[in-house]
Structure 1
């Protein structure tokens, strides 16, 4: 059986337009496309997850300045069109493309919050695809509120950007068990 071919950027964008043409703007970003152009519907985030996403966004804008956004579709080379929870990039990069469609590249910083989402099952691929696509750093906030920083050389003890995320513990599960995240870059 032949291995299906990955879609290039233009083919992914055409598939994105077919999936989301009549979708309300807010609902559009519940959809992602895998690397073959197949639609993936993500559940709406709970209020708890939305609060944490907003908190992360606010911390990033306070620390890094203008250039952060929530739930923005981005094109990756190896994992289709994905919607990280929060992204950041310098303002000049935001001005370099048509902002009505997916970002045609991976922003400098991508954040994934794993509260009540199915993303934990593919987080390794997300991290790898963001880093392969040009992100300098990926931040993962797990179910217990533990913040992990990932760069080109794997997991890092601190943020490349010097970011700390003092998140309120009340939104996370009580006990923490080590997560198994093994990105091989």
Structure 2
């Protein structure tokens, strides 16, 4: 299966989870939890406010191992102009972010980091639901990002629910 086949398949429209294609063209599905989706949105908002440019959620990116979909990504205006006519991105934007789930293994996540970097990302961030952020570039794990975005204030905020009387 190719990505254009996935996009054209009516049975795969409006799924409540993201799908990816592995290197063999097989669909891999990964449902997101409520807290995962919430954190994804908060990160997207903060990147937009702090960096400008374009923020993407669930951006389909062609990698050497098939189409992969980071939870959040950030791209410059030039990246967006270069890719805006594509059905899926032929290269990764400058920053790709994955929110870790309990089912993720360290090996799998480090493989994803490498795939996004090989596809053109400058940095890849791995975000744990407890607020820990690990940042990587082509040299490995780094302590200081090139991107002036601070996510620490939003990551540890508890969920507050209100209801109408």
Gaps of 5+ in 2: 160-165
Q: Deviations over 1:128-183 (max 9, x none)?
A: 011111111001102432101101110011212132212332569xxxxxxxxxxx
Residues 40 and 99 of structure 1, relative CA distance in 2, 3 Å threshold: farther
Q: Provide closer, same or farther for how the CA distance between residues 34 and 139 of structure 1 changes in structure 2, counting only shifts above 3 A.
A: same
Structure 1 segment 147-162 matched on structure 2, within 5 A? 147-162=133-148
Structure 1's unaligned 5+ residue stretches are 1-13, 173-185
**3-state DSSP class of the match of 1:58?**
helix
Q: Which has the higher strand share?
A: 2
Does residue 40 in structure 1 map to residue 28 in structure 2? yes
Superposed CA offset, 1:33-52 (max 9, x none) = 11222111122x12211111
Aligned residues: 156
Measured on the aligned residues, the alpha-carbon RMSD in Å equals 2.3
1:7 aligns with none
Contact 2:130–2:155 at 8 Å: present in 1 too? no
In the TM superposition, residue 64 of structure 1 has moved relative to its aligned partner by: 0.8
1:182 paired residue number = none
Task: Tell me, yes or no, if the aligned pair for 1:32 and 1:81 is still in contact at 8 Å.
Answer: yes
Matched, 1:107 2:93: yes
Where does residue 109 of structure 2 map in the other structure?
123
Give 1:98 deviation, angstroms: 4.6
TM-score for the superposition, normalised by structure 1: 0.75
The equivalent residue for 1:183 is none
Query: In structure 2, what is the equivalent of residue 54 of structure 1?
Result: 41
